[in-house]
Chains A and B, each alone.
Chain A
């Protein structure tokens, strides 16, 4: 009581001012639950909202709660949608969110969306409804075309940022770049690297010429060296550059021009692109390598062997490196000796059909861990891994926050001992106390999950594939990982026992994904009954199965009514894909036929 009365002497403005120092959104969420007064002050002063699952709350409810909203981040489809495990038309529509914001939050300036479906109409609405709109970031989205981009370019009075990362964009021609009005000079960041089609090069040059604040520019493959050279001459203050195609004749005017242009860019810290890069074009880059902090060569299979070594040995300040496995263990050894500040490394597979010898092995990873003790984020695709290598790596680099290892062949054991990789991955969780994200692969038994449950106390996201023996494996994780937010599992022998081991756990998590496991409709129904605050959704192709049965003479009524499928008595059927998430928004109203909410 005493505390409560003391609160009345605190003017709202003071509390609001105190809250303004809280930028971490979980902290803001926490203060809003203290009392009604704080809830009200917090919601009216909130500028940034992060919605990790767009179905966790209804758009109009979120918009109504935060009328002063300036920046919204939304995530849609489950992560495994990136790998074709979620059928098209599953959902994740941006439209309802943009419409809700248009009604309630006129101050919106920034919209960041990941794995959502955005239509051209929604983009039109976006730029007309928000007079202050400044920044659009779309990652792994789809559903729109270059016409939508034209609408954004045309109507945004003071567009600062247009960042398109790995989206599926329908190409309707290069005209969209012309749509930036002549008076638009506010661009700071432009990234269209994922666009597959041609761009209007003259428009691009003109746009760059009138954008004095441009700091980040990432071009697509259609932009040739000639244009790149012209652009570079116009913006010597560029900090982040994604090149277009780097195919050039070493004696051409364009090449010479590029070299001189790059040398003037004293502030360049990050490079990407490098499509079709010839070794000669790489020479142009050497003078700026010493200052680079970020380098992405993962779309440049031509940069390998000695060319890669010659390039990377200059990059002594590198913090972030993305490469293809064609650089080999030899290339990684040079990285280890040159890039002492390295914090993040991603090694992508260069040839999925690889019939030839493996290009990176555990040796490369061990070399990196030895030479780069500051490494805290890893994504590594390789053909094999050993326990002893993983143990060495974790001893050398105890600071991992993100550790993702993908052995290309499912269930592959340690080739040296023929044993599972439990001990190796176990060593990682034991030594890396700050591990927040973990992806494991290779031959793994329940033992590795015992280690994860016991040691990975900071773990927030876990991705499992082709691993484990019994329900006990998944149970270890659910019981032990106190901070777990996202759990995604595919092709593991976990059944209803594991699913129902700790049902209240799912209320503390954002989501659970299970596909090609051993769960049945009975188990999923039980979960849905026990936990009404969760949406328990299954994705199935039973309709197709039933049609087959009909053709084979089994008499069954085909109907689009979900209940007929779900309640026809056969609860023992295996569920192919399960997606469970906590929500205050109730069952989805936009679920397609193949998604059934239990």
Chain B
């Protein structure tokens, strides 16, 4: 899978030349406001409600919904995959007492993913280019359809959008996936 990093690179190039409606730099603004309305603001937002109206009027306390519900909307927004949110997926490793969480959005490719996971789980080896080796582990993931897949087959961007959960399997189990 040599094309991994170039896939990532290609994606960036594609994004730069993509035709979009909106003033230049709008992507950056969207990222900065982390998923919230992109309306430019004259002053710092003081309350949780103000940022949420996307249409003409910025109205405090409207619609009349209690803060607990408002907060659950915002939390949900951050969980979904969009241009500006993080993509957190759980990572489990066979035999480890607890799981970890990793933001795929901040990574740029499979190589970086492997490095991060090695650091997290302090495994001596997480496999070579093909995802597994005889004595090590294999990195697998559960995709949107609930299937268990070997990491590395699809382009990075496609992987990020379809990965729901990561699982590091023992080499003996993983061999069957080749």
Q: Is the CB of A84 within 8 A of B49?
A: yes
Q: Is the CB of A355 within 8 A of B54?
A: yes
With known contacts A299-B72, A301-B76, A353-B54, A406–B49 Cβ distance under 8 A: no
Mask of B61-94 contacts with A, CB within 8 angstroms, 1/0: 1111111111011001100000000000000000
| B125 is an interface residue with CB less than 8 A from chain A | no
Mask of A265-300 contacts with B, CB within 8 angstroms, 1/0: 000000000000000000000000000000000110
B53 to chain A, nearest CB (A): 8
* Cβ contacts A to B, 20 pairs, < 8 Å: A84-B49, A140-B66, A166-B66, A166-B68, A348-B69, A349-B63, A349-B65, A351-B73, A352-B63, A352-B70, A353-B37, A353-B54, A353-B77, A355-B54, A381-B65, A406-B64, A409-B55, A410-B62, A439-B64, A465-B64
A352 contacts which of B57, B67, B73 (Cβ < 8 Å)? B73
Q: Is the CB of B61 within 8 A of A85?
A: yes
User: How long is the Cα–Cα vector from A351 to B73 in the complex, in angstroms?
Assistant: 7
Nearest first, the 3 closest Cβ-Cβ pairs linking A and B are A83-B61, A85-B61, A352-B52
Q: Is the CB of B62 within 8 A of A83?
A: yes
Q: Is the CB of B60 within 8 A of A84?
A: yes
| B47 is an interface residue with CB less than 8 A from chain A | yes
User: How long is the Cα–Cα vector from A306 to B54 in the complex, in angstroms?
Assistant: 29
Q: Is the CB of B76 within 8 A of A83?
A: no
Q: Is the CB of B64 within 8 A of A82?
A: yes
| B9 is an interface residue with CB less than 8 A from chain A | no
| B106 is an interface residue with CB less than 8 A from chain A | no
Q: Is the CB of A353 within 8 A of B49?
A: no
Query: In the assembled complex, which residues on chain A have CB atoms less than 8 Å from the CB atom of B65?
Result: 83, 348-349, 352, 381
A508 to chain B, nearest CB (A): 26
Interface residues on B, range: 20 to 34
Query: In the assembled complex, which residues on chain B have CB atoms less than 8 Å from the CB atom of A350?
Result: 73
13 extra interface residue pairs, beta carbon distance < 8 Å, beyond A352-B65, A410-B57: A80-B61, A80-B64, A84-B48, A85-B61, A301-B76, A351-B73, A352-B73, A353-B52, A406-B63, A406-B64, A409-B55, A410-B62, A463-B64
Q: Quick one: closest B residue to A81, CB to CB?
A: B61
Mask of A338-360 contacts with B, CB within 8 angstroms, 1/0: 00000000001111110100000
Query: In the assembled complex, which residues on chain B have CB atoms less than 8 Å from the CB atom of A406?
Result: 63-64
Pick from A80, A83, A298, A439 the residue with the most CB of B within 10 Å.
A83
Number of A-B contacts (CB under 8 A): 60
Query: In the assembled complex, which residues on chain A have CB atoms less than 8 Å from the CB atom of B76?
Result: 301
| B59 is an interface residue with CB less than 8 A from chain A | yes
| A194 is an interface residue with CB less than 8 A from chain B | yes
User: How long is the Cα–Cα vector from A298 to B73 in the complex, in angstroms?
Assistant: 11
User: How long is the Cα–Cα vector from A346 to B43 in the complex, in angstroms?
Assistant: 35
Interface residues in A375-390 (C-beta closer than 8 Å to B): 381
B62 contacts which of A299, A439, A465 (Cβ < 8 Å)? A465
B33 to chain A, nearest CB (A): 11
Query: In the assembled complex, which residues on chain B have CB atoms less than 8 Å from the CB atom of A584?
Result: none
User: How long is the Cα–Cα vector from A439 to B64 in the complex, in angstroms?
Assistant: 11
| A15 is an interface residue with CB less than 8 A from chain B | no
Query: In the assembled complex, which residues on chain A have CB atoms less than 8 Å from the CB atom of B47?
Result: 84
User: How long is the Cα–Cα vector from A163 to B168 in the complex, in angstroms?
Assistant: 42
| A22 is an interface residue with CB less than 8 A from chain B | no
A84 contacts which of B37, B57, B61, B77 (Cβ < 8 Å)? B61
| A408 is an interface residue with CB less than 8 A from chain B | yes
A211 to chain B, nearest CB (A): 26
Residues in chain B within 8 A of chain A (CB atoms) = 36-37, 47-49, 52-55, 57, 59-70, 72-73, 76-77
| A60 is an interface residue with CB less than 8 A from chain B | no
Query: In the assembled complex, which residues on chain A have CB atoms less than 8 Å from the CB atom of B37?
Result: 353
Pick from A350, A381, A410 the residue with the most CB of B within 10 Å.
A410
User: How long is the Cα–Cα vector from A406 to B59 in the complex, in angstroms?
Assistant: 14
Residues in chain A within 8 A of chain B (CB atoms) = 80, 82-85, 140, 166, 168, 194, 298-299, 301, 348-353, 355, 381, 406, 408-410, 439, 463, 465, 490
User: How long is the Cα–Cα vector from A410 to B56 in the complex, in angstroms?
Assistant: 10
Q: Is the CB of A83 within 8 A of B64?
A: yes
With known contacts A83-B61, A299-B72, A410-B59, A168–B67 Cβ distance under 8 A: yes
Query: In the assembled complex, which residues on chain A have CB atoms less than 8 Å from the CB atom of B48?
Result: 84
Query: In the assembled complex, which residues on chain B have CB atoms less than 8 Å from the CB atom of A298?
Result: 69
Q: Quick one: closest B residue to A194, CB to CB?
A: B68
User: How long is the Cα–Cα vector from A409 to B59 in the complex, in angstroms?
Assistant: 10
B45 to chain A, nearest CB (A): 12
Q: Quick one: closest A residue to B55, CB to CB?
A: A409
A491 to chain B, nearest CB (A): 8
User: How long is the Cα–Cα vector from A350 to B57 in the complex, in angstroms?
Assistant: 20
Q: Quick one: closest A residue to B52, CB to CB?
A: A352
B85 to chain A, nearest CB (A): 13
Query: In the assembled complex, which residues on chain B have CB atoms less than 8 Å from the CB atom of A82?
Result: 64, 66-67
A462 to chain B, nearest CB (A): 14
User: How long is the Cα–Cα vector from A194 to B67 in the complex, in angstroms?
Assistant: 11
Query: In the assembled complex, which residues on chain B have CB atoms less than 8 Å from the CB atom of A410?
Result: 57, 59, 62
Query: In the assembled complex, which residues on chain B have CB atoms less than 8 Å from the CB atom of A85?
Result: 60-61
Q: Quick one: closest B residue to A166, CB to CB?
A: B68
User: How long is the Cα–Cα vector from A53 to B31 in the complex, in angstroms?
Assistant: 45
A408 contacts which of B63, B67, B69, B73 (Cβ < 8 Å)? B63
Q: Quick one: closest A residue to B35, CB to CB?
A: A353
A436 to chain B, nearest CB (A): 18
User: How long is the Cα–Cα vector from A465 to B57 in the complex, in angstroms?
Assistant: 14
Query: In the assembled complex, which residues on chain A have CB atoms less than 8 Å from the CB atom of B72?
Result: 299
Q: Is the CB of A83 within 8 A of B73?
A: no
A415 to chain B, nearest CB (A): 15
Pick from B48, B60, B64 the residue with the most CB of A within 10 Å.
B64
Q: Quick one: closest A residue to B77, CB to CB?
A: A353
Query: In the assembled complex, which residues on chain B have CB atoms less than 8 Å from the CB atom of A83?
Result: 49, 61-62, 64-66
Query: In the assembled complex, which residues on chain B have CB atoms less than 8 Å from the CB atom of A490?
Result: 61
Query: In the assembled complex, which residues on chain A have CB atoms less than 8 Å from the CB atom of B69?
Result: 298-299, 348
Query: In the assembled complex, which residues on chain B have CB atoms less than 8 Å from the CB atom of A351?
Result: 73
Q: Is the CB of A84 within 8 A of B63?
A: no
Query: In the assembled complex, which residues on chain B have CB atoms less than 8 Å from the CB atom of A439?
Result: 64
User: How long is the Cα–Cα vector from A506 to B59 in the complex, in angstroms?
Assistant: 29
A507 to chain B, nearest CB (A): 28
Q: Quick one: closest A residue to B79, CB to CB?
A: A276
User: How long is the Cα–Cα vector from A121 to B59 in the complex, in angstroms?
Assistant: 36
Query: In the assembled complex, which residues on chain A have CB atoms less than 8 Å from the CB atom of B60?
Result: 84-85
Q: Quick one: closest B residue to A409, CB to CB?
A: B55
A305 to chain B, nearest CB (A): 16
Query: In the assembled complex, which residues on chain A have CB atoms less than 8 Å from the CB atom of B53?
Result: 352
User: How long is the Cα–Cα vector from A463 to B76 in the complex, in angstroms?
Assistant: 29
B55 to chain A, nearest CB (A): 7
Q: Quick one: closest A residue to B56, CB to CB?
A: A409
B127 to chain A, nearest CB (A): 25
Q: Quick one: closest B residue to A79, CB to CB?
A: B64
Query: In the assembled complex, which residues on chain B have CB atoms less than 8 Å from the CB atom of A194?
Result: 68
Query: In the assembled complex, which residues on chain A have CB atoms less than 8 Å from the CB atom of B52?
Result: 352-353
User: How long is the Cα–Cα vector from A324 to B69 in the complex, in angstroms?
Assistant: 11
User: How long is the Cα–Cα vector from A59 to B93 in the complex, in angstroms?
Assistant: 59
User: How long is the Cα–Cα vector from A490 to B62 in the complex, in angstroms?
Assistant: 10
